[in-house]
Structure 1
Amino acid sequence: MRAAARPKIGDRATSDVVVRLRTPDSGRDEWLYCHSRVLAAGSAYFADRLSDAWPTCQILDSRYCVEVHCRDADLSSHVTALRLLYAAEPVSRFGVRGALSLLDAAAHLACARTAAACADYLESAPWDEADEEEILAAAPRLGAHRARVLARLRPADPAPATAIFLSAFRHATAAPSAASRELKPAAQEQLEYMLTEDDDAPLLAFGAGSSDAVKSQVKGCVTGLLNSFSNFTSSALTKQREPPCSGELQQDLHSFVSDIAWVCQVLGKLEMMKFLAAYWVEASSAVVAAVEAAAAECHPGPECLKTRLKVVEISAKVLEAVAFGNVVLPAEKRRHAVSVWIGFAGTTRHLVDEADRGNDDGDGDDEDGNNGDGDTEAEAASASAAAAAAKIGLDGEVWQGLESAITSIVTTLPSNTQAEVLSEWLQSKHAAFPDLSEAFDAWCYRSKVARRRLSFLNSTNRAS
């Protein structure tokens, strides 16, 4: 049909069919003067209704009348579908809700071109969350177009999901750099979400067979991060940095330990904590020395405390893995680990408590009612640092988990080694945390009853 000869809908003089749209809910009717050749060419529904096989009813001016029943809410979309049969080109600007409504009407009237145009629009248009809910609700009515319209919402196949996981993991564990500062947090956040089991199952589930290659690549990325961290700590302890108070060492150290803290969470979900725990225990002394070196580079402040808390967080996860038996280490390594982290954790907890007290003291007015206006500049800076540090917290479960893990590990050591560790703890300045009273009680009891409990060994030795 040439465009020049195309009739217009509503042209009563040339129409030979009246389409009556009926809505049973409100009784609204819409009468449209149409052309049988246009309707039959664009709609299988009308081609069937206007065929000789379908009984029709003649009305005024010998025109055929075709009644179409629809819901009141769908009336306007049915009118639009009829009008689009007369369009030379399919319309593509619908809006998501408009396209869904029109697609329903086009499917009802079997208007293939209009339905395809609606599906093309829905498949390519951006959606917001409300749009997605509308599309999901309409999914049963999408018919042959359902698969491609819903393609962006369907679960990803294992291969592409694994590929994006590994690519993101490489970014998440890359050495600190200006280029990675923005992408890395996003990658870490999404990777953690992919592996989290909440209302839905994790996006990735690594089975025994297919996960070996994935875990090998994950281990390679983490090993690269840990090697970079080892090089960093060695450099921090041996090289003079200029200017002396640049804060660069502190910033880089915090970036590294933040990445390692995040890696701990991921490796825990993948059941791969063993090799990281072994590394952390081995590197304990170097890590503590690097933290102290970074604190010495500039005046201690909130950033230093943030870094110390990240280190405590990592150590808690590592020591819990050792305490639960997930990571098996020889006694000398367990002894070294608890000795280092008892002292570090105690000092850090003391600094946090001091910051809290400093913040509480700084909240009130001074005795003269001056709101602290008489403070010196240094005192004001110190109060500001304390206030900022007080906002830096660590979940109470982390402190409790660390304390429980250290207690458990101490009780696994030989009795003489336990005595050495407990003696060091009792002599430390910050013995209030971790509280090893439980381990102390267990050592006292075991030591006192040891001869009686092990007397059978002496009998055996004499008999042999």
Structure 2
Amino acid sequence: MSIFSNVQETELSCTKEVFLSAIRFATSTADSFPQFEDDLRTSAQEQVEFMLEDDENIPLVMGDDEIKVETRILVSKIFSSFENELFSLILEPDFANEEMEKKIMRSLSDLEWIHNTLLKMDLVKDFVSNWVNISSNLLKVIEDKRLDSIMWGLKIKLIEVTSKVLEAVGYGTVVLPAESRVELLKKWIPYIRKMKSLSDKTEPAFPYKMSEDLCQGVEGAIVSLVSALPSNDQAEILSDWISAEQVKYPDLSEAFEIWCYRTKSAKRRLDEALTESAMPLSPLISEEETSPLSRVPNIFPG
């Protein structure tokens, strides 16, 4: 048994080192081997996916604190790198540079991959928190007027990644405070609504459209998210939705109906409680009978 135990510890240690090496390279931002970088990164990502799905030692390794800490550090680095690349887009004189757009798209694809990986590792909350934190900066860049008519692929990809965040929060995979959920909705609903409107106005052959599946996924997640908010926050989100010009999308009618029902129900219960509290005690009931002690049975007769 001691030999078997030593062998098992060695196997787990090897699995841990291989996994850490693979995920480090899969998320690396350095250009160590530029001519082979994409192939090596893809191979490392495939190795991580294989280990998470088929390596029998991985469930034991995933509980290791070093794995979790290292992964969180790597996720933070990826987000920081992506945010810097996106800001460099509007700082460059030639902001329509195809090579730069390609690099940013690759970083965004890496983010999408790490999201799927974190789901399998039960660490997706780290992805969601990072995305919420950088959302303001992302939108500040992508809504720059100079990008109005270009980089449609990047804009749609941002919505695809955002939809994963909305689904994680909306369906309870990740629990965030109400303030963070409201912030997420306020930031992304106007942008998604605008992009859907612009997408619908393009020619049928336009390659960068919001697909029907994407639209339905985003809409369902938003409805679920809004419905779970405190009543006052729901009212604020729904008020903005009703007053918006493109009120057709996302369709929050279901969330609005739920809010109306809950509001009416709460008001009815409040009215009933106030009415009951205002009713005087019946004179036929003696003070002794209204005492809490009067409801205790007499277990000592005589």
Task: Name the TM tier (shorter chain).
Answer: 0.7 to 0.9
Which of 159, 165, 174 pairs up with 1:312? 159
Distance in 2, Cα, partners of 1:188 & 1:395? 29
Q: For 1:286, what is the secondary structure of its paired residue?
A: helix
User: Match for residue 160 of structure 1?
Assistant: 14
Query: Is contact 1:176-1:256 (8 Å) kept?
Result: no
Query: Is contact 1:247-1:297 (8 Å) kept?
Result: no
Q: 1:202 to 1:430 in 2, by over 3 A?
A: farther
1:254 aligns with 2:81: no
1:189 aligns with 2:46: yes
Structure number with the bigger relative contact order (C-alpha 8 A, sep ≥ 6) is 2
Query: CA offset at residue 273 of structure 1?
Result: 1.0
Q: 1:162 to 1:457 in 2, by over 3 A?
A: farther
Query: CA offset at residue 331 of structure 1?
Result: 2.0
Q: 1:183 to 1:426 in 2, by over 3 A?
A: farther
1:329 aligns with 2:208: no
Deviations 1:189-213 (A, max 9, x none): 34234323xxxx4565333874322
User: Match for residue 378 of structure 1?
Assistant: none
Distance in 1, Cα, partners of 2:103 & 2:149? 16
Query: Is contact 1:161-1:204 (8 Å) kept?
Result: yes
Query: Is contact 1:334-1:409 (8 Å) kept?
Result: yes
Residue segments in structure 1 that go unaligned for 5+ positions in a row: 1-155, 360-385
User: Match for residue 431 of structure 1?
Assistant: 247
Distance in 2, Cα, partners of 1:439 & 1:406? 9
Deviations 1:372-425 (A, max 9, x none): xxxxxxxxxxxxxx2x436xx7571x4333222211111222323222211222
Query: CA offset at residue 219 of structure 1?
Result: 1.3
Q: Which runs of structure 1 show a deviation greater than 6 angstroms over 4 or more consecutive aligned residues?
A: 459-463
1:206 aligns with 2:52: no
Q: How many residues align?
A: 267
Read off the aligned partner of 1:252 and give its amino acid letter: K
Structure with greater strand percent: 1
Structure with greater helix percent: 2
User: Match for residue 126 of structure 1?
Assistant: none
User: Match for residue 225 of structure 2?
Assistant: 409
Q: For 1:413, what is the secondary structure of its paired residue?
A: coil
User: Match for residue 442 of structure 1?
Assistant: 258
User: Match for residue 187 of structure 2?
Assistant: 340
Distance in 1, Cα, partners of 2:110 & 2:278? 58
Question: Which TM-score applies when normalising by structure 2?
Answer: 0.75
Question: Which TM-score applies when normalising by structure 1?
Answer: 0.51
1:358 aligns with 2:177: no
Distance in 2, Cα, partners of 1:314 & 1:190? 23
Query: Is contact 1:309-1:394 (8 Å) kept?
Result: no
Which of 180, 184, 208 pairs up with 1:389? 208
Query: Is contact 1:176-1:252 (8 Å) kept?
Result: no
Map 1:22-421 onto structure 2 (within 5 A). 157-175=11-29, 177=31, 179=34, 180-196=37-53, 201-202=54-55, 205-207=58-60, 210-236=63-89, 240-293=91-144, 296-297=146-147, 299-300=149-150, 304-355=151-202, 357-359=203-205, 386=206, 388-389=207-208, 394=211, 396=213, 398-421=214-237
Query: Is contact 1:172-1:187 (8 Å) kept?
Result: yes
Q: For 2:140, what is the secondary structure of its paired residue?
A: helix
User: Which has more radius of gyration?
Assistant: 1
Query: CA offset at residue 245 of structure 1?
Result: 3.1
Deviations 1:137-192 (A, max 9, x none): xxxxxxxxxxxxxxxxxxx9443333222212112212274723332233223423
Q: For 1:358, what is the secondary structure of its paired residue?
A: coil
| Identity rate, percent | 33
Query: Is contact 1:173-1:221 (8 Å) kept?
Result: yes
Distance in 1, Cα, partners of 2:243 & 2:148? 29
Q: 1:436 to 1:160 in 2, by over 3 A?
A: same
